[in-house]
Structure 1
Amino acid sequence: MVDTQHSLAASFAPVLNELDLNLYDVEVVSASQGPRILRVLVDRPGGVDLEAITAATQALSEILDSPGETPDPVIAGRYTLEVSSPGLERPLRRIEHWEGAREKTVTVKFRDEGVAQRVKGVVVSLNETSVTLDVDGREQEILFSEITGARTVFEWGSEPRLATKNRKPKSKKKSEKVA
């Protein structure tokens, strides 16, 4: 399946670049019933809007639906194409994703000596083989080969401020006194 994802990414990236979009990730999900799901995540500085998602969906559909042009036989035939942004809590699958997550809070699922583990920490450093997290004040190194899933964690900052621009002050109701 990894070869399929690389093949699709190689076909999709140039088309998305023409739309000023970056290919964040490609995932082929086998559905228990029905067609496979081809999930494509796109991004750009400042984020993506609905117009960008629509343009990407149309461009990728043209590639996939062209007779004899399917970039990979695994998705030949029926499939469901999902195009979206990576979202606030982004999956971390490639080294570039991890580099973008430096100094950010992440959750990581991994296997340590065959035992499933899950930690939440801040990405301190990384190299080609591992990532180091600050987990509750102590550093923990995790090999990429042991990671089964990881994503950034969206954390609310201070309380959101209410917009005051164009806001009318609340009017006070005057109650009439009965004499």
Structure 2
Amino acid sequence: MAFGGTVAASVETIRKAIEPVVQAAGADLEELQIQQAGRREIVRVVVDRDGGIDLNLVSDISREISVILDNEPFNSEFAGTFVLEVTSPGVDRPLTQLKHWRRSHDRLIDVELTDGSQFTGRITSTTDDVIVFTVTQGKTQEERTVAFADIKRGKVQVEFNRVTTEDEGDVADGH
């Protein structure tokens, strides 16, 4: 691919073309990659939004991006030899931006602070510069407030058997 001669320039050209479509759908363009796979190129687009993203929205965004990439100037560069993948970030994405933390509300997070200390807590609230966690130690719970600037990294823990208050209502209703 040769928009401006480099893959980086190509990514930026495509980003400028598709970002308005993603934003019009109420989502954010989290990541855009172009990878060579044999004779084809894989265009990987990662989208997300507050409240999560569902399959219908991913499908709608994918169709709109496909129309863009199937037309000039992109169709002559790809010549029909690209695979478009539009997806959500997944739970294994590291939490690097404040919006990632906000979108992980009520999830259990492994947190590493800039001072090297670590803890696991459930996000209960976020503001522009602070994240509040509920940290469970044995049978006790405590609230822990951490400045976003003090967080080095975070990763969502996958929980398979967590019962939420919504789930408890379903059980009581017989569902």
Whichever residue aligns with residue 40 of structure 1, its letter is: V
Is the contact between residue 70 and residue 80 of structure 2 (CA under 8 Å) also seen in structure 1? Answer: no
2:156 to 125, 146, 154: 154
Query: Greater share of helix residues, 1 or 2?
Result: 2
1:28 to 34, 58, 66: 34
CA-atom RMSD in angstroms: 3.3
Q: Are residue 6 (structure 1) and residue 8 (structure 2) matched?
A: no
Distance change >3 Å, CA 62–CA 7, structure 1 → 2: same
- The CA distance in 1 between the partners of 2:115 and 2:80, in whole Å, is 42
Q: Are residue 85 (structure 1) and residue 88 (structure 2) matched?
A: yes
Match of 1:19 in 2: 25
Q: How does 1:123-134 map to 2 (within 5 A)?
A: 124=113, 132=114, 134=116
1:52 to 43, 51, 57: 57
Q: TM-score, normalised by structure 2?
A: 0.58
- The CA distance in 1 between the partners of 2:52 and 2:174, in whole Å, is 28
Is the contact between residue 16 and residue 56 of structure 1 (CA under 8 Å) also seen in structure 2? Answer: yes
Distance change >3 Å, CA 8–CA 91, structure 1 → 2: farther
Mind listing any 5+ residue stretches in structure 1 that lack a counterpart? 106-120, 125-131, 138-150, 169-179
Is the contact between residue 21 and residue 42 of structure 1 (CA under 8 Å) also seen in structure 2? Answer: yes
Match of 1:39 in 2: 44
Distance change >3 Å, CA 153–CA 91, structure 1 → 2: closer
Distance change >3 Å, CA 27–CA 133, structure 1 → 2: farther
Is the contact between residue 91 and residue 156 of structure 2 (CA under 8 Å) also seen in structure 1? Answer: yes
Equivalences, count: 125
Is the contact between residue 90 and residue 152 of structure 1 (CA under 8 Å) also seen in structure 2? Answer: no
Whichever residue aligns with residue 60 of structure 1, its letter is: I
- The CA distance in 2 between the partners of 1:134 and 1:29, in whole Å, is 35
Task: Summarize deviations over 1:7-61 as a string: whole Å, max 9, x none.
Answer: 2111111111111121111011211x34111100111110111110111011000
Mind listing any 5+ residue stretches in structure 2 that lack a counterpart? 1-6, 102-108, 120-152
Whichever residue aligns with residue 155 of structure 2, its letter is: V
Task: Summarize deviations over 1:110-144 as a string: whole Å, max 9, x none.
Answer: xxxxxxxxxxx62x3xxxxxxx473558xxxxxxx
* Largest Rg, 1 or 2: 1
Is the contact between residue 88 and residue 152 of structure 1 (CA under 8 Å) also seen in structure 2? Answer: no
Whichever residue aligns with residue 74 of structure 2, its letter is: T
